Chain A
């Protein structure tokens, strides 16, 4: 199974993601520079965190126009699992693959701390091994992480079961404490917290099992026996 890790100018979580995919979950991962296209034999796509284009204009706004995004959109239409983490989530939103916007945190601070998520949808390719309402200890690291949707869009997200993760506490002012959402079809998921920084016991002071289930969900979704 082939997983693409897309690298933009300014990505800085690409190697962490690659390490977790290959060393921990034994997947065949490959880096793809944003100016290249994606081959057809890709089973999943991950847009890692970072500061693409130095967050110029606003986070993810410029990377959303990178040539590779055309292929990401084609794969999204085909139902290929696609995950955007942190800046990857911001890029998916700016590319129109996920609804909403990511604004500056209410505190105006860059927030780097452990949080706790609640699973709200366990039917996506990145949450199917988790229990509904299960808690996930996981870190955030962002300045523009306040997820915003207007009230009408929020109503639609609830109706279509597109809220995948909520913060258990009010962390940064996000609408309805939303930390992660999915597309209507469910195969495109974006989340601000970093599962790749929480999936191993050596780097998770709480419990790494719930975050590791995000990756095990992907294995399950693409048919890898674990």
Chain B
């Protein structure tokens, strides 16, 4: 068993408005010195620390937790899971 860090990024599905990201883009970033940014999406990231035999099983375990406990609402959100060595 090894320790892994698993990042779960929860973001709105495409087509669902993200007023927080739009505000950060329009009222902060584009009012600064950079005008090349075209989009900002806000998201929530949860960092799990988990003991599993390998990266693959760490990812599957966390995916199952997210699905079973509705860590994200599949009506509006999707998740991306990234696994790192601790």
Residues of A within 8 A of B (CB): 57-58, 61, 64-65, 94, 99-101, 103-104, 106-108, 148-150, 153, 173
Give the interface size bracket for B toward A.
10 to 19
Task: List A contacts of B23 (CB < 8 A).
Answer: 108
- Which of B20, B71, B75, B76 is the one whose CB lies under 8 Å from A57? B71
Query: Which B residue sits closest to A65, measured CB to CB?
Result: B69
Q: Are B75 and A101 in contact (CB under 8 A)?
A: yes
In the complex, B32 has a CB within 8 A of chain A: no
Contact, CB under 8 Å: A153 / B75: yes
Selected contact of B73 from candidates A58, A153, A173, CB within 8 Å = A58
Expressed in whole angstroms, the minimum distance between the Cβ of B69 and any Cβ of chain A is 7
Question: B20 — which chain A residues lie within 8 A by C-beta?
Answer: 104, 108
- Evaluate contact between A103 and B76: CB separation under 8 angstroms: yes
CB distance from B57 to the nearest CB of A (A): 24
> For chain B, what secondary structure do more than half of its interface residues adopt (helix, strand, loop), or is it mixed?
loop
Specify which chain A residues have a CB less than 8 angstroms from the CB of B69 in the assembled complex: 65
Bitwise, B21-55 to A at CB < 8 A (1) or not (0) is 00100000000000000000000000000000000
Q: Is there contact, CB below 8 Å, between B16 and A148?
A: yes
Complex interface: chain B residues within 8 A of A148 (CB) = 16, 75-76
Whether a CB of chain A sits under 8 angstroms from the CB of B17 is yes
B70/A103 in contact, CB under 8 A: no
Q: Give Cα A26 to B57, complex, Å.
A: 56
Q: Are A149 and B75 in contact (CB under 8 A)?
A: yes
CB nearest neighbor in B for A151? B15
Whether B17 pairs with A94 at a CB distance below 8 angstroms is no
CA distance A149 to B13 in the complex (A): 12
List 16 interface pairs A-B (beta carbons < 8 Å), by A numbering: A61-B71, A65-B69, A94-B70, A99-B75, A101-B75, A103-B16, A104-B19, A104-B20, A106-B17, A106-B19, A107-B19, A108-B19, A108-B20, A148-B16, A148-B75, A150-B75
Determine the chain A residues whose CB is within 8 A of the CB of B16 once the complex forms. Answer: 103, 148
